[in-house]
Amino acid sequence: WRLGMRERARLEYRRTRFQFQTELAGLNSSYMSRCAIATDVPGYGQSAWVKVARLDELAGTVTLEVSEEFDWVDGASHVIAWREPNGKLTSPFPAQPGATPFEVVATTTQMPTVRDDMEPPFVHFGTTENWSWQALVREVSPEGNKVSISAVIDDPRVYEHDDATPPA
């Protein structure tokens, strides 16, 4: 019963698909691995590049100067995550506005790597609920110096019957 309900929910809720190309860091992904995807869909997360990162060990925060102004939603909690040099995304950290429209203060002591000889870190930003689309990788196809990735939305409703009791 549970397997049948999981399959039924998968067919109903995993309909949104993503197809995109990325750098060789896309090779970190494998079949059904989780990934966070930022899009330009209004109401969902935003993205930018980190220009400068400053650590305040005493406060336990990192101030990021980013390439874009972010939209802050009044009364909502916000998070920010960034791509590490190995291409993996950090867990999202709580975020507050900084001193300027281009600054974000993250509650963490984990610093992004910002160096002149590397591509700057890419950040995902948004409200706790909608900072990114959570997806599952379906296919990874290397093509020269790029990687094509096909993914599908990971909707939590797919799993809602996993621990349920079958009806009598």
Statement: residue 165 has pLDDT above 80: yes
Q: Which two tokens stand for residue 140?
A: 């990874």
- The three-state (H, E, C) secondary structure of the chain, written as one string: CHHHHHHHHHHHHCCCEEEEEECHHHHHCCCCCEEEECCCCCCCCEEEEEEEEEEECCCCEEEEEECCCCCCCCCCCEEEEEECCCCCECCCEEEEECCCCCEEEECCCCCCCCCCCCCCCEEEEEECCCCCEEEEEEEEEEECCEEEEEEEECCHHHHCCCCCCCCC
Distance CA 109, CA 97 (A): 17
- pLDDT band of residue 22 (cuts 50, 70, 90) is confident
Strand partners, 48: 123
Distance CA 42, CA 28 (A): 28
Sorted by where each begins, the domain ranges of the chain are 1-38+132-163, 41-131
pTM comes to 0.79
Q: Which two tokens stand for residue 29?
A: 């992904």
pLDDT at 157: 93
Statement: residue 19 has pLDDT above 80: yes
- pLDDT band of residue 168 (cuts 50, 70, 90) is confident
The fold for domain 41-131 equals Thrombin, subunit H (2.40.10)
